[in-house]
Structure 1
Amino acid sequence: MANKLMTIATFPDAVKAQIMRGRLEAEGIPAFIADEHTLTNQPYLYMAYGGVRLQVMETDQERALAIIQTREPFTDLATSPDLQADQCPNCHSRQVEEVKTPNQSILTFLRNLFTSGTTGIKVRRFNCRNCGYNWIMEL
């Protein structure tokens, strides 16, 4: 029975399941995702399948559950306490600048205009002068 796969978590979409699978594999636990392709291509079957299933071997089940329950798998960069708009997420340098190109400014302005009334989230683009990394933050 050691080769039996056990479902340890279900997710509403494949992206979150893949993130958690990567986290488990980083800890040395082989993990598998069931129903990923079916629910990605036919999302209306979500209720019938119960979501995308994350599975591990029966022998790794307890350790995998402990990893899932003790760590926060998804972090919002905008609310992360250790990351600020004036700090590069790649090299942690404070030599950052806000990027404002004509196309990005118009698109960002339109997105902010249409979504700020409902969500209050503003999108800003940044560039690190130290390492050249570009990123987008929702503030």
Structure 2
Amino acid sequence: MLFDTASDRYRTIARYDHVLQAHLAAGRLQSEGIDAVVADEHYVSVNWLMANALGGVKIRVPAEQADAALAVLAQLDAGAYALAPDEAADGQAGMPPAARPPTPRSGPAPDESPPAAPGPRCPQCASLRAEPHRTWRWRLAMLLVHTISLPMPFKDDGRWRCADCGWRWRQQA
């Protein structure tokens, strides 16, 4: 046996399937002044298939604080700490209205220029739907990197392909 449960001063009060859920609950307990510890989080993060075998991610608290911690978790499950709909919508929960930053206006500013095109214009049909043309060398390099972790250098040689007409060209840098 790894530890003696009779002499262990910490008690497991909750188990979660996901590390994030356990940390949220432990954070709520810690904000209430309870010394909460998240156990087995790294095992579950690295090998999530073992989560059921390990009993999930555990929250452990000192034995003398276990009853208070269970009460806080019961309130958390009942929704006592949920945000009001108007606070949840604007993302400014807990801030007084005077301290909230101004709401940004919608739409682009009048002096802003439109975003730049993602690639060059096709010399055949003048379309802006150009995409980099990947040759067999690029595909081979990606295959080797992902299958046997062998990095193979490849150079982007400026080849483009039009998505509208299919024209291929090389653009000089």
Please, what TM-score do these two structures have when normalized by structure 1? 0.57
Q: CA deviation at 1:83?
A: 2.6
Q: Are 1:8 and 2:13 counterparts?
A: yes
Q: Give the AA of the match of 1:82.
A: D
Match of 1:60 in 2: 65
Query: Between Structure 1 and Structure 2, which shows a larger proportion of strand residues?
Result: 1
Q: Which runs of 4+ in 1 moved over 3 A?
A: 90-95, 97-103
Unaligned runs of 5+ in 2: 1-5, 109-113, 117-173
TM-aligned CA distance change 1:73 to 1:2, over 3 Å: farther
- Given candidates 7, 19, 23, the residue that maps to 2:28 is 23
Shift of the alpha carbon at 1:63?
Answer: 0.5
Aligned to 1:89: 92
Aligned counterpart for 1:33 among listed residues 38, 56, 59: 38
Q: Distance in 1 between matches of 2:71 and 2:49?
A: 31
Contact 2:75 2:81 in 1 (8 A): no
CA deviations over 1:33-84 (Å, ceiling 9, x no partner): 1110000011010110121000101110000000110133885x7xx51336
1:45 is aligned to 50
Distance 1:89 1:60 in 2: 32
User: What percent of counterpart residues are identical?
Assistant: 28
State the aligned residue count.
Answer: 99
The alignment's C-alpha RMSD in Å is 3.2
